[in-house]
Structure 1
Amino acid sequence: MKRAIFFDIDGTILDCLNGIIDITPRVKKAIRSLQSNGDYVFIATGRPYAFLNEVICDFGFDGFVLTNGAYVKVKEKCIYKESISKDSIKEMVCNFEKLNIQHILQGELYSYIKDEYKELHSFYDSFSISKKYLEGNYNIGDVDIYKIEMLCSDKSGVDYCLSLGKGDYDYIHNVKEGSFELYSKSNTKASGIIKVLDYLDIPVQNSYAFGDGKNDIEMLSSVGCGIAMGNAEDYVKSYAKKITDTVQNDGVALEIEKFIL
């Protein structure tokens, strides 16, 4: 029976802020061994397609669970997508602009960010994100949006963004930095993974996931075996069945070699 293994990106197979901007040779070899064994390998990330660098796009993964499960691809086929309602997007963007909240609207292929949002652009530059699929000129009514990221400059902006989590949305945030990632509660990495497993007719017990962040909790606790990175917070580790070494120490490869293979 074939298996499916899902990998988060940041803090799991890459660590852009600490110099790991390519998948290390040992991790590449381990993932390739899974594919040679007939297993499927997927990326499961909060990132939209526009944020996937060439390293990830060109590796040869069997598909992607993007924007925290709101957009799912197996090979080149989209098997699921659910955008945020346009009325909700328009209302939030109106408030963002009133409160001077820099924001990026994450779509299917392109993501949309105004050229004048220099601080937000600089933040993405630190993650080596290409501007190839970042669009500054757009009509908000003409684009489908699956996730939003925001950068607040003051307390009023932070308070507004925090208030959005009381409704249909959830978020990852760093209040100190004023940064937020907002997404629909109806979609998670876990829900996207289940759609992949159903599509490929793979039982849940034959699935594995590697992750390190808050938005990995659902998938770590929903797959057959959730594996937390050694650099994950203890709160995240508590939802995993196994804990491996850190991203810096090739934790993904270690667990694939000694446990999955």
Structure 2
Amino acid sequence: MAVSPETSWSPKVVALDIDGTLLKWIAGQGATLEEIAPAVYDAVNRAYDSGAQVVLASGRSPHGMTRVADLLDLPREGDDRLWIVASNGAVVLRYPPVDVVHEETFDAREAVYAILDRHPSALVAVEERGVGYRLNDHFPPGELTGDMIVTPVEELVSQPVSRVIIRDPASTAEDFVSLGRELGLQGTSYVVGWTAWLDLAAVGVSKASGLSYVVDQLGLEPSDVLAIGDGRNDIEMLTWAGRGVAMGHAPDEVKEIADDVTGGVDEDGAAAEISRWF
């Protein structure tokens, strides 16, 4: 369902990506400033105060998302806990405190070894929920948060996991797009980030599947959702939502599937879109 601002529709859920949507990118780094622009803060809080459910939906791990909820001052004291869709939909939680209510895991061994066969020097990380990450070597500074526990690859994938990150600083995003197509990565779903960054999850898991769980719990429908995002991992969410809006700096394949395109993150594009409705 494509919704335009000229309709009488009003979103009951506002689903927001974090990095590149709520937070601005630091030039030349795969990290974002951990601060919310005043215009974005005001717009999100207007939506919340109007009764909309604000849901953070990100590829970040849970502990990397609760800090953003705190920056938004959500939820208010005495209100119901916030819904958060973490790890690209593999983990759904309520906050505060952190209470994981839904998680999807998978066997990542075959996919990880197939990728390492092509990129033997690639970095591999799995989430250590509530702590940080277990990884085969350290990622570039700022790309992961929490404690980093160096662990052999065979141990990383010895048990089912909710998400695996593959990173190769010597490659490009285009290299990883081609890699995913060539390998097929049977038994997993995958999404390529802004750099040579590949997220692996169980088949069918995406931000859309995580949000679908939340919407079902709320007794609402996808048509009630306004979703805003900027990355390839937002495509399923933007096509699933009643109104899916891409940030102005998003890759072309994201903008092409969106119902509309707002300004870039440096122009507070998320605030502009939210302000159309609240």
After TM superposition, is the score higher than 0.5? yes
1:113 aligns with 2:113: no
Does 2:100 correspond to 1:78? yes
Aligned-residue offset at 1:194: 0.8
How far has the Cα of 1:113 moved from its partner? Answer: 1.6
Q: Is the 8 A contact 2:11 2:226 kept in 1?
A: no
Contact 1:50–1:111 under 8 Å retained in 2:
no
Q: 1:168 corresponds to which residue? A: 187
1:33 aligns with 2:76: no
Give the distance between the partners of 1:24 and 1:206, measured in 2 at CA: 26
- Given that 1:65 and 1:192 are in contact with CA atoms closer than 8 Å, whether structure 2 keeps it comes out as yes
Residue of structure 2 in register with 1:9 after alignment: 18
- Shift in Å at residue 207 of structure 1? 1.0
Q: By how many angstroms is 1:13 displaced? A: 0.9
Where 2:184 maps in the other structure, the secondary structure is helix
**How far off is 1:199 after superposition?**
0.4
2:134 and 2:231 map into 1 onto residues whose CA distance is: 25
**Which residue is equivalent to 1:260?**
277
Q: 1:2 to 1:79 in 2, by over 3 A?
A: farther
Q: Structure 1 residues 105 and 33, CA, compared in 2 at 3 Å: closer, same or farther?
A: same
> What is the CA–CA distance in structure 2 between the aligned matches of 1:212 and 1:25, rounded to whole Å?
20
Which residue of the partner structure matches residue 232 of structure 1?
Answer: 250
Residues 107, 146 of structure 1: 8 Å contact kept: no
Matched, 1:89 2:102: no
- Give the direction of change, closer, same or farther, for the CA distance of 1:244–1:161 in structure 2 (3 Å limit): closer
> Alignment partner of 1:150: what SS?
strand
Q: Distance in 1 between matches of 2:157 and 2:164?
A: 15
Q: Given that residues 125 and 156 in structure 2 are in contact (C-alpha distance below 8 angstroms), is that contact kept between their aligned partners in structure 1? A: no
The alpha carbon displacement at 1:150 in A equals: 1.5
Do the aligned residues in 2 keep the contact of 1:103 with 1:113 (CA within 8 Å)? Answer: yes
Does structure 2 retain, via aligned residues, the 8 Å contact 1:212–1:233? yes
Instruction: Provide the rounded CA distance (Å) in 2 between the counterparts of 1:24 and 1:108.
Output: 28
Q: Which of 43, 62, 71 is matched with 1:49 structurally?
A: 62
CA shift for structure 1 position 181: 2.1
Asked if the contact 1:2–1:38 (Cα under 8 Å) also holds between the matched residues in 2, the reply is no
CA distances 1:151-182 after superposition (whole Å, capped 9, x unpaired): 34779x9787765534122323379x643222
Q: Which deviates more from structure 2 when the two are superposed, residues 54-63 or residues 212-221?
A: 54-63
TM-score (ref. length: structure 2): 0.75
Task: Identify which of 37, 43, 46 aligns with 1:24.
Answer: 37
Cα distance in 1 between the residues matched to 2:85 and 2:106: 16
Report the 3-state secondary structure (helix = DSSP H, G, I; strand = E; otherwise coil) of the residue aligned with 1:103: strand
Q: Deviations over 1:21-56 (max 9, x none)?
A: 311011011111111112111111112224447344
Q: Which moved more, 1:95-104 or 1:201-210?
A: 95-104
Shift of 1:190: 0.6
Which secondary structure does the structure 2 equivalent of 1:21 belong to?
Answer: coil
CA distance in 2, matches of 1:242, 1:160: 30
Q: Is the 8 A contact 1:9 1:43 kept in 2?
A: yes
Bigger shift: residues 164-173 or 219-228: 164-173
Deviation, 1:200, is: 1.0
List gaps (5 residues or longer) in structure 2: 1-9, 76-81
CA distance in 2, matches of 1:65, 1:112: 21
Aligned-partner Cα distance in 1 for 2:272–2:170:
43
Where does structure 1 lack aligned partners over 5 or more consecutive residues? none
Structure 1 range deviating more: 94-103 or 162-171: 94-103
In the TM superposition, residue 234 of structure 1 has moved relative to its aligned partner by 2.6
Q: Deviations over 1:87-142 (max 9, x none)?
A: x438836974993332111243332124xx24x2x2xx234x43x34333595478
Number of aligned residue pairs: give it.
248
The secondary structure found in structure 2 opposite 1:23 is: coil
Distance 1:26 1:95, change over 3 A: closer
Deviations 1:217-256 (A, max 9, x none): 1111111111111111232112222221111111111111
TM-score norm. by structure 1 comes to 0.80
Percent identity between the two aligned chains? 24
